Amino acid sequence: MLSSKRLLITGLVTTDSIAFAVAERAQLAGADIVLSALGRDLELAEAAAAQLPHPAPLIELDVTARDQLETARDAIADRLGGLDGALHAVAFAPRDALAGDFLDARPEGIELAFRTSAWSLAGLGTILRDLAPAEGGALVGLDFDADGGAWPVYNWMGVCKAALQSTARYLARDLGPRGIRVNLVAAGPLHTRAAGGIPGFDHLLSAWERQAPLGWDPRDAGPSADAACFLLSDFSRAVTGEILHADGGYHAMAAPPVATGATAGDYEPRAYAV
């Protein structure tokens, strides 16, 4: 599915990440990949990269820094000669922007969360714009949108994910004439390194356990990675500006499904005054 594709996979740090699962599946599907990680994560990323089916070069990249985006672009051009697709698997918010009182978060932390989790998609888009062949390419980001609702936890990261969705649509508009597609994969909650930093993560997970009609395995990043590989492939050549939900169907349910075998007689009718 990805034979001869040249891909940049950002955000790889550990083997439990969606980024690692995408890198693994992309290699098995025939892609040549370059991995990137923050400088402080390079040692961990090297250990994770060693578990991939084939060796892959690893470069340092802070997606919030323009100079590093330019350096990474040149490094990718040297290694691959061009770029057919990129995975944006980067997000961060300081703890006070994730937990506590929504109104008390520091502006500096909110700004950092936005720059890392939303603006950086556009930064990655500049690399793909400069290196994609004439026929175009694909930029795929990882999302968690839960139908745009406000969660009891997640706070400003939820705002940043809404901004990520808007950023993807504007990028789809501006990169479309170059043949570059921009889409997001909205995954359900997974036990990853990033999830460990989300206060109340178990609350999110329990919601999926109750409401996803297909069920949800928080230890399996495979479904989300397969969705990303589809969007990076030519099978999605007419798809842009979309959010592909790989969440067990959670987003489509207005309420938890009725238990199998339940009947109308199991429920007591009530009248409510309005």
Instruction: Identify the structural domains of the chain with CATH numbers, from first to last.
Output: 6-266 (3.40.50.720)
Q: What is the CA radius of gyration of the chain?
A: 20
Q: Are 168 and 145 in contact (CB under 8 A)?
A: no
Predicted confidence at residue 55, as pLDDT, reads 95
Residues 6+ apart with CB under 8 A from 225: 18, 21, 22, 24, 25
Distance (Å, whole) CA 44 – CA 238: 37
Predicted confidence at residue 264, as pLDDT, reads 42
Predicted confidence at residue 274, as pLDDT, reads 39
β-strand pairing of 85-88 with 6-9:
parallel
Predicted confidence at residue 270, as pLDDT, reads 44
User: Do you know the residue count of the chain?
Assistant: 274
Distance (Å, whole) CA 33 – CA 86: 9
Q: Which residues pair with 85 in a beta bridge?
A: 7, 138
Predicted confidence at residue 195, as pLDDT, reads 55
3-state class percentages of the chain: helix first, strand second, coil last, to nearest 5: 45, 15, 40
Predicted confidence at residue 230, as pLDDT, reads 98
Predicted confidence at residue 45, as pLDDT, reads 96
β-strand pairing of 85-88 with 137-143:
parallel
Q: Are 130 and 82 in contact (CB under 8 A)?
A: no
CA angle 73, 53, 246 (to 5 degrees): 75
Averaged pLDDT, groups of 10, the chain, 274 residues long: 96 94 98 96 96 97 95 96 97 89 95 96 98 97 79 87 96 98 94 62 80 92 97 98 95 81 47 40
Distance (Å, whole) CA 241 – CA 224: 18
CA angle 86, 135, 115 (to 5 degrees): 30
